[in-house]
Structure 1
Amino acid sequence: MANWQCVKQCGACCHLDPAERPDLKEYLSPAELEKYLSMVGEDGWCVNFDHTSRECRIYANRPRFCRVELETFQDMYGIEPEELNEFAIDCCRQQIEGVYGDRSLEILRFDKAVGL
Structure 2
Amino acid sequence: MPNRNAVQNLITKFRKTGSFDNAPKSGRPSTSKSKEKVVEVQDMMLKSPKKSVRRLAQQADVSVGPAHKIRRKSLSMYMYKMSVVHELKDTDRPACVDFCSWFLSFLQDNYEGILDTTFFTGLCE
TM-score, scaled to structure 1 = 0.24
Higher relative contact order (CA 8 A, sep 6+): 1
Q: TM-score, normalised by structure 2?
A: 0.23
